[in-house]
Chain A
């Protein structure tokens, strides 16, 4: 028996996997002993289309960049146990026929710990039986035998933190909701993945939708919720399609609806589609979108746990958070806690993109060093400039952070966020200011437009950045940019605005030279100096200098330290006797 699995997640399909699949179908139609299988993505997005071949008790062979015209030769080589040029790895699940690298030895795989994405790319996402075969829904059955409180304390003990970005303790969030006495409560799965460069939730659902459904079932049982929603975007058609199929199959198996598996527990899961606004990932905007209102955040408090969907207590969790629940229930919270770092337990799926040799999604435990990630991505250390973490509202990690062990807290300390988990790698050719400019452009077009700092402020930041990129800005603009960024961060209404200036702030801190380079040329071509014959030592310039670049005691002649001076012109304008003069540098 030969099983051929073709990776048919969006990444595979866009690389042409559907044609490969059809070609296989055509070619094996009249042959016996073949089984063609549709699977999700195993993570090597840069190698798509990927085909896995399992023959009897031999090791599974993984072929990459397969084209329809390769199909015949592949079939031929499998039947005849011949080497094929497209084979690039194998799995350690049988005898090895040729000398191919084992997948776990592969640089992309070796540092990963696959827990949540373990079966992605292995099972058929459109077949519930395939999921059940690998132990699917066993955690849910186990959960049904537990008390809801036990589940909550188990989740709390696991130290699982929300994977949506803020990193709030899931168990604690659940406890808030469980304390509410309201009979009607809602659970919402936030599948509104919107960061440019983030695709881990999409891949997860496209590859293993039942894991999410199982997670929602357990959570609903623990929180005594009778109605759950999955909120996603219409821009994820494949994920939506597979979720719909999965929900239908689960219903058919009696895993959804009334009196599930003969117990008193009933829950219904409804899929809701948004139009793809970034701001709808913010929980209050998301709630309004489900209610049928325009997706605009409202001020908190009241928090959703008190007044959420239709003013009822509501719990909102990210896809990855919910997909982790079945694993915690199955393997125990202590086991889960043993993975990861002290205050951030478990693993996190990141999506790698940008200037890297290897792109795709990776699942790594918290506490993994930045240098490891760079190795996974296959970018040389000398070529590496920055890692943009957390999308357009995240921050940059630079060469200085090579030894940083990534988790929620450590990343925060260096002015970045884990965020949803998008990682964009930038090589040394890249201009950080331009990257920030593009990020800000995204924010400006995605701001909901309700509150002043986000609506007006982000536009003004974009305008200043544009000026800097076009080398028309001076140091005043840079000062304004900095103050503006702080104001927006501190006074915006929702998370979108509060995180909007992160890239600016983090880049100014870490890549100031990129900004400095672009400041108007003319400002670099002159300097200010104090005419000693005129200076009366009135000390006014000393007072106004923002950089403390002027030295001198009252009644004595003052001096400008040219290394500190940023040529802002404050002293030049303030000197009452015009003793400060401009001189051009030749």
Chain B
């Protein structure tokens, strides 16, 4: 559908635009209108009232004003500037102004705008007080930093988890859970989209950097880092580089510089996930077991099923998520092979994800009663550590992952929506047909940022119908369609965040659809250039199966690489 361009007059000059909302149009035309509550991936909220402009002589908020033909817009009249400044000062008058040591210092939308449009606040008086909610291992809510923009409410509703809403009214309004219960007791699945969309430090992940630094400083401990695929194309943003920049090898040396003893690639875990999951799928199809099978790499998605669709728990693949698999292998196979006691190994997962912080605490994931992952750092926390240690990415030499644990590129596209599906299809096709079809290595239909993708493939004599979903709101839609019988598929990949893990809740700020697309491009570039593009072709994986796990779905593999799920209450009160 092509939209007809509309003519608008901005500050006396004529422009053409196809945008629906005025703020977006102005931004595209290069006018910098300050705004706080507006986020380009969300519907306009119009609560911060900073984006006011004059349209045909009237003061309006540009974020929710629909562009109309011949509209006369003035972005910088004296009045408009004054109103913006006063509204900002009002926000600041009720905000904890501890910027110097705030978690989001220099990454804060409010700070950026304040720096630009005012040099003081002439208002002071009562401030809202509310206790910090540190109940969840993934997300911390510090209400004193909240500016009540409502982005988290909208994004959580978009995820169809609906944890937050405005509570109470007037000056006493807060953003909180139902009945103001702790986040850990709420239906929160930990996806962290609220954190990514929060303009201030009101919602942040639980910081575990200190725990990691303590472990590094402990001479007894062998500290092993593993990096998720989505991190390697986004960590550059934390250090001032462009999104999508591939930094796989530089990160390895950066982590070594910080003091990690070993650095492994989570994509190897992903290769194992594919082996197990693809085998499980083939087995389910052959034995007419429960279908469609759902992927289980995404911990938010697993929580979502356990809370909202417990009757569909049998549909979830029992395969653990990649970093859990790698963690389990490190604490069993690797410990045994190198002769290091598993108790001494401290595994740190560097993830684009906040929900992984919840996942690692699940008791059923322990191996020999040990936590398989000892700490999870988000991409942001990683960036913070790199900055703290004064590491300059440009000066670093490139370094390979530690010898024994490298991965295929199938395991690396895991970071994007459709990636798990594509990797699984490559291997499932091999299992079913016995050959690697080099012509059909890229499954284009499952790629891209679209929320719901449905495709069907002929693998040998089997016809496989697959669905690929990103964002939980879309997942709910597709589940409802499956439950009502309107949609029949065999295999469903779900990633909770927009665009998959590359848009995860632990990714650098700012994250939006454009940035996600660039990160996605980065991952597919890695895949394109790779020599090993099939999980089952990974020589290290083959070796571990040979030496340790026997074969996919073997008894040993079931013990170490598979898990169980349990029904969860939505409100744990």
Contact = CB atoms under 8 A, between A and B. Distances in A.
Interface of A: 277, 279, 294, 296, 299, 301, 444-453, 455-460, 463, 480, 483-484, 486-487, 490-493
A470 B168 CA distance: 29
A451 B46 contact: yes
A88 B123 CA distance: 56
A463 B169 CA distance: 18
Contacts of B45: 299
Interface in B11-67: 44-50, 52, 59, 61, 64, 66
A420 B82 CA distance: 32
Interface stretch (B85-93, B227-235, B410-418): B85-93
Nearest to A487: B86
Contacts of B172: 449
Contacts, number: 105
A58 B188 CA distance: 75
B47 A447 contact: no
B150 interface: yes
Nearest to B46: A299
B170 A447 contact: yes
Q: Which of A444, A452, A480 has the most CB of B within 10 A?
A: A452
A450 B171 contact: no
B105 interface: no
10 contacts: A447-B169, A449-B170, A450-B150, A451-B49, A452-B147, A455-B173, A487-B82, A490-B59, A491-B61, A492-B49
B566 interface: no
B165 interface: yes
9 nearest A-B residue pairs (beta carbon): A449-B173, A456-B90, A299-B46, A487-B86, A463-B125, A447-B170, A459-B171, A491-B49, A299-B64
B457 interface: no
Contacts of A493: 46-47, 49, 61
Contacts of B91: 452, 456
A452 B126 contact: no
Given A452-B90, A493-B47, A493-B49, A487 B170 contact: no
B86 A449 contact: no
- For the side of the interface on B, what is the size category? 35 or more
A277 B166 CA distance: 15
B148 interface: yes
A491 B147 CA distance: 17
Nearest to B54: A490
A233 to B, nearest CB: 15
A510 to B, nearest CB: 24
A568 to B, nearest CB: 13
Contacts of B148: 449-450, 452, 455
Given A456-B90, A456-B94, A480-B122, A447 B171 contact: yes
Given A457-B87, A490-B52, 18 more contacts: A299-B44, A299-B45, A444-B171, A447-B169, A448-B170, A449-B168, A450-B47, A451-B47, A452-B50, A452-B147, A456-B171, A458-B170, A460-B90, A460-B123, A480-B122, A484-B123, A487-B86, A487-B87
B443 interface: no
Given A452-B90, A453-B90, A455-B148, A444 B170 contact: yes
A443 to B, nearest CB: 9
A371 B83 CA distance: 39
Interface string B469-503: 00000000000000000000000000000000000
A296 B166 contact: yes
A447 B172 CA distance: 10
Given A299-B44, A450-B150, A453-B49, A445 B87 contact: no
Nearest to B91: A452
Interface in B166-209: 166, 168-173
Nearest to B92: A456
Contacts of A444: 170-171
B170 A457 contact: no
B83 A460 contact: no
Nearest to A492: B49
B322 to A, nearest CB: 41
A506 B168 CA distance: 30
Contact of A445 (B82, B122, B150, B170): B170
Contacts of A487: 82-83, 86-87, 90
A248 B143 CA distance: 49
Contacts of A452: 47-50, 87, 90-91, 147-148
A492 B169 CA distance: 16
A486 B87 CA distance: 11
A294 B125 contact: no
Given A447-B171, A463-B126, A453 B87 contact: yes
Contacts of A447: 169-171
Contacts of A460: 90, 93, 123, 125
